[in-house]
Amino acid sequence: MSDVRKSQILMVFLVGFIFSTTVVQAQMPRLVLDIKVGIVDTYSGPPAVFSNDALNGFKLALSDINKAGGVLGSRITFVTRDEKFSPETGLSMARELVLQEKVDLLVGTINSATALAISAYAREQKIPFIVWIAKSEVITGAKGHRYVFSTGENTAMAGKALAQFAASRPYRRWWIAGEDYEYGHAIADAFWRYMKQLKPEVTLAGQTWWKTGEPDLIPYLTAILSARPDAVFFGTGGAGMANVLKTMRAIGFAERVPTAIHTAIDYTALKPLGLNAPEGVMGTTDYLFYYPETSDNQSFVRAFQSAYGTPPGFPAFHGYITAYFIAEAFRRAGSLDRERFIHALEGLRVRTPVGMVEMRACDHQAVLPMFAGVTQKSPKFDFLVASNIVTFRGPQVMPTCAEIQHARGQ
């Protein structure tokens, strides 16, 4: 190819590029009054299942809010950015959303490391940031501050709920196992911390950790069986969770030793395995679409099901209540001023599918109930559900404000 021809092609591309960007910008003038939410989350790779679920819940709530006239006379709109599960990418996306897109607040993400990176940026820029899936307890705990909020449960709440649920049973020698990454250790630490508080006589028989994405867990699980502990706690989530459940079923693990896993009763974890998930596993979650059977929950589930063809998982619930927290806070603030928004959000109570939920003022953590139960088959569904459900109200599972202040070194 001659140089002349190359430069011609290059010119065509350049002109086309400039033209396309101007056309796009001309077509989408920004309404001055729109409230714009910038969402950074993982939309590629395995975590996208959860992130898309959260986004769907958020969209469902927004369409209701906007149909009802929006807030302060403006619609709430949003833009999304894919952080690809990388804190560096997530942080630069957040910067871009704030500087280029001029969003009014940031929302995200499933990745705790990204959430913490954006949280630090939000603090520096004085822009509100609502975390909706990431479960690290330091987000609103030790590293919490004025500009960061969380609308989902965290490892402290989950660990405490599951510890309370399991402590009522006669198990003393526990084995702790899990996936060797931040969440796996964080949830295991929280569970064990509260377990020892509630029941000082428990002992740790041993630990097993495997690498994330480890396809074959049979050697790990049979080795645990050989140690004959009274009960086992697994720190795992996402695709790793499906693997643990599948392996448990293959070797009849739960029949041999009682097992507790946070999110083991969760719909997103149980659905892929259908009726072949193990029964009798103790688990916790902060949302179940079939419980409580209140009209608020049922109408949310119906609306979600008709919009997306599947029942909502816990991320959808977080996304849904996030939208209501945002709308209510702006309504209460009476303006788009960020400081007034934060002031309005602190202590705000909104009506959600699981009842009234408060955004606790001292740590900016949504006071969510936690549900604990045991996996079981049900004639109503073609996947396992939770049975013997116990509800722990938020204050029963959350660290106290004094503990939070202590963790923040105040």
Partner 1 sequence: MVLGFLASQLLVGLSRAMILFIVSAGLTFVLGVLRVPNVFHGSLYMIGAFSAFSIATQLGHHPASVWVAFLTAPLVVALIGLAVERTLLTRLYQREHLMLILFTFGVTLVLNDLVKLAWGADYRSILPPPVLQGSAVLMGVPVPRYNLFLLAVGPLVALGMWLFTHRTRIGKLARAAAVDREMVALLGIDVNHVFAGAFLVGAYLAGLGGALVAPSTSITLGMDHTILIEAFLIVTTGGLGNIWGALLGALLFGLTQSLGVLIWPQFAIVFPYLATASVLLVRPRGLLRSVW
Task: Tell me how far, at minimum, the Cβ of 182 lies from partner 1, in Å.
Answer: 15
Q: How many CB atoms lie within 10 A of CB 198?
A: 14
Region at 340 (left for phi over 0; alpha for psi -120 to 50; beta for the rest): alpha
Q: x/- site string to partner 1, residues 196 to 215, per CB under 8 A?
A: ----------xxxxxx-xxx
- What's the rounded Cα separation, in Å, for the pair 359 and 331? 15
Considering only residues 166-185, where is the footprint of partner 1 by CB under 8 A?
177, 180
Helix (H, G, I), strand (E, B) or coil at 35: strand
Segment contacting partner 1 by CB under 8 A, of 19-27, 188-196, 244-252, 346-354: 244-252
Q: Give the one residue of 80, 111, 164, 243 binding partner 1; rule: CB under 8 A.
A: 243
Closer residue to partner 1 (CB): 209 or 290:
209
DSSP designation for 217: -
Q: Tokens 């949830």 sit at which residue?
A: 187
Closer residue to partner 1 (CB): 51 or 119:
51
Under the binding rule (CB under 8 A), the answer on residue 80 touching partner 1 is no
| Orientation of helix 182-198 relative to helix 112-125, angle to 10° | 90
Size of the site for partner 1 (CB under 8 A): 41
Task: Tell me how far, at minimum, the Cβ of 257 lies from partner 1, in Å.
Answer: 12
What six digits make up the tokens of 215?
Answer: 């396809």
Task: Tell me how far, at minimum, the Cβ of 133 lies from partner 1, in Å.
Answer: 14
- What's the rounded Cα separation, in Å, for the pair 394 and 391? 9
- What's the rounded Cα separation, in Å, for the pair 164 and 170? 12
Under the binding rule (CB under 8 A), the answer on residue 305 touching partner 1 is no
Under the binding rule (CB under 8 A), the answer on residue 86 touching partner 1 is no
Segment contacting partner 1 by CB under 8 A, of 47-55, 107-115, 293-301, 361-369: 47-55
Considering only residues 247-266, where is the footprint of partner 1 by CB under 8 A?
247, 250-252, 256
Q: Give the one residue of 222, 299, 378, 388 binding partner 1; rule: CB under 8 A.
A: 222
Residues near 182 by beta carbon (within 8 Å), at least 6 away in sequence? 112, 113, 136
Closer residue to partner 1 (CB): 84 or 343:
84
Closer residue to partner 1 (CB): 103 or 248:
248
Q: Give the one residue of 130, 187, 242, 323 binding partner 1; rule: CB under 8 A.
A: 242
Q: Give the one residue of 225, 303, 307, 389 binding partner 1; rule: CB under 8 A.
A: 225
Under the binding rule (CB under 8 A), the answer on residue 44 touching partner 1 is yes
The H or E element spanning position 76 is strand 76-82
Apex 70 CA angle, 123 and 105, nearest 5 = 10
Sign of the four-CA dihedral 325, 328, 333, 334 = positive
Closer residue to partner 1 (CB): 48 or 79:
48
CB 134 within 8 A of CB 110: yes
Classify burial at 158, counting beta carbons within 10 Å of its beta carbon; exposed 0-12, middle 13-18, buried 19 or more.
buried
Closer residue to partner 1 (CB): 281 or 407:
281
Q: How many CB atoms lie within 10 A of CB 349?
A: 12
Closer residue to partner 1 (CB): 269 or 329:
269
What six digits make up the tokens of 308?
Answer: 């997306």
The H or E element spanning position 319 is helix 314-333
Segment contacting partner 1 by CB under 8 A, of 122-130, 133-141, 219-227, 396-404: 219-227
DSSP designation for 400: P
Q: Tokens 């979650």 sit at which residue?
A: 285
Task: Tell me how far, at minimum, the Cβ of 82 lies from partner 1, in Å.
Answer: 12
Closer residue to partner 1 (CB): 69 or 252:
252
Which amino acid is present at 243? Answer: N
Closer residue to partner 1 (CB): 274 or 395:
274
Closer residue to partner 1 (CB): 250 or 402:
250
Which residues of the shown chain bind partner 1 in the complex (CB under 8 A)?
Answer: 44-49, 52, 177, 180, 206-211, 213-216, 218-220, 222-226, 238-239, 242-243, 246-247, 250-252, 256, 272-274, 276
